[in-house]
Structure 1
């Protein structure tokens, strides 16, 4: 099964042989690719018990846990990369979760849907309701997203916290788009972050 575009981008930028923690790992698709194609020691933390069982059934190392409360159990710098793919906006305390990612991982990948994308803006303007799109397919009352953010919001957030952006990629319809006007043109953003 091919990787989702943001996951493929992350996998391509993880150094072979790295120790990786995938927070919110889902069914383990990214972990399997990192293990099989990059020779990584990939571990997962996942809230949904069914997804954890799928990971274990695929021979992957995953435990059930919550990014908001369980990252503090990991020792400092225990991973080369900590990955939070399309999960930041679902956490209760994204600032604390990001701090924990950068404490336990030397680098952190964070990807999220850009709620300032032009289609989202147009839908809000046209209908006056929270948009339902192909990439945000749930009604407002069903969605796990509790913190809606944009590329500009995230850039401000990391700048205020002295977090260094090592890389940034922007996707529209699953294809890389330029950084120019990413806040309005990108449907998804992927950032590679480090401290200091």
Structure 2
């Protein structure tokens, strides 16, 4: 997780205005506030996570971003984050476009469902895989849109979104060759 935070931080300029969608317990925003002095806000729906954010001093708004981001003006933020939440959103395509409406750039991270271990699990066991990056059974998962690296690349291409940078974690390090096969976690910096 720390390596992911360091990569995200490397893409954010100091003192940026940042919105973290699905900020969870506020750990990432807290890290960015300490390391990059960002002016950050989180959106979260879990009362327990909101309490955790408040205890860390992280500014948080109780809001279900799946119902829209109309309360934010165009270009309100320098960066909008969606960390390991894309697969749990109702309409990832619409959400990514909204992120780039309210922010100059966006960072999207997600577990790569096309990782070789998931493929083998399906092939040999015939059932949905459970792993550190996809830790739920098929019947109780919040993940409703499993995504691969190729799927996200295609979404960006279709919507005219520029991929500024991409990092893929796998095999204990960053991978570039055959990332869709070897990568278990993808991190994208995008802009319109």
Shorter-chain-normalised TM-score: which range?
Answer: over 0.9
178, 182, 185: which one aligns with 1:185: 182
Contact between 2:11 and 2:189, CA under 8 Å: does it hold in 1? Answer: no
**Matched ranges for 1:1-196 at <5 A:** 3-172=1-170, 175-178=173-176, 180-195=177-192
Contact between 1:6 and 1:174, CA under 8 Å: does it hold in 2? Answer: no
SS at match of 2:141: coil
SS at match of 2:168: strand
> Within 2, Cα distance between the matches of 1:12 and 1:75?
26
| Structure 2 alignment gaps of length 5 or more | none
Contact between 2:74 and 2:103, CA under 8 Å: does it hold in 1? Answer: yes
**CA offset digits 1:3-58 (Å, max 9, x no partner):** 44323311222111100000010101110111111111011001211101110111
Contact between 2:168 and 2:185, CA under 8 Å: does it hold in 1? Answer: yes
TM-score, normalised on structure 2? 0.96
SS at match of 2:142: coil
> Within 2, Cα distance between the matches of 1:114 and 1:162?
22
Alpha-carbon distance, 1:174 to partner: 5.3
> Within 1, Cα distance between the matches of 2:24 and 2:107?
16
| Structure 1 alignment gaps of length 5 or more | none
TM-score, normalised on structure 1? 0.94
Q: Cα RMSD over matched residues?
A: 1.2
> Within 2, Cα distance between the matches of 1:33 and 1:12?
12
